[in-house]
Structure 1
Amino acid sequence: MNSLESTKYRNTLEAGGVPPAQALAHADALGEVLENIPTKDWVRAEIQALKFDMLKWMISLFLAQTSVAIGAVVVLIRYLPH
């Protein structure tokens, strides 16, 4: 929250009957909260990273599943009577 918005918010609180010290504390607290809200670009970057991680896991699990299936077929072929 920039200083102009902070001042306007504080003045609005004071006009509503909030003591000046308390209005200032509210404005400062709200400013800190608003500074920590993530941006759209940050959220998009995080989602992109998660998509990449999910793809890595899916490929790894697919390869592991395929290896187990091939191993099971080899065992069945080798140890079943002909």
Structure 2
Amino acid sequence: MNSLDTLGYCKRLEAVGVPREQAEVHAQILTEVITKVATKDGLKELEVATKDGMKKLEVGLKELEVATKRDLNELEVRLKEWVALYVKEQIAELKADILKWFIAVSIAQASFVIAVLRYLPH
């Protein structure tokens, strides 16, 4: 950090005719300004810290991406299993319905044949 020799600065101002009080205020203000000015080292430290932070964010994002892909793959597997189970259940229900209709139609057909045979002359 830059430092200012305030006593020397005041003496130089007084030497060119600036009143002591004004020279002291001038030195105080200049000291405040210098302490608030960013230095090259400070900017370099900030740059390094920013780069480190960005690298950490990139790593974190990559980890989130991997976790998200893993979660999506797990969901896909579970969804496929659920769909397969649902389809099997629907097929079983359809088989049962078809069997009921087949039995009903067979009974109706047998009844029709019996009725026709009964009323035919022998």
Greater RCO structure (CA 8 Å; 6+ sep): 1
Task: Write out aligned runs for 1:1-12 (5 A).
Answer: 1-2=4-5, 3-9=7-13, 11=15
Q: TM-score, normalising length from structure 2?
A: 0.49
1:13 CA displacement: 7.0
Q: Say which one has the larger Rg.
A: 2
- How many percent identity over aligned positions? 22
Structure 1 residue ranges without an equivalent (≥5)? none
- The Cα offsets for residues 9-32 of structure 1, whole Å up to 9 and x where unpaired, read as 455572xxxx43123212222124
Q: TM-score, normalising length from structure 1?
A: 0.67
What is the Cα-based RMSD across aligned positions, in Å?
Answer: 2.6
| Number of residue pairs aligned between Structure 1 and Structure 2 | 78
- The Cα offsets for residues 6-57 of structure 1, whole Å up to 9 and x where unpaired, read as 433455572xxxx431232122221243144332112202210121122112
Whether contact under 8 Å (2:10, 2:20) holds in the other structure is no
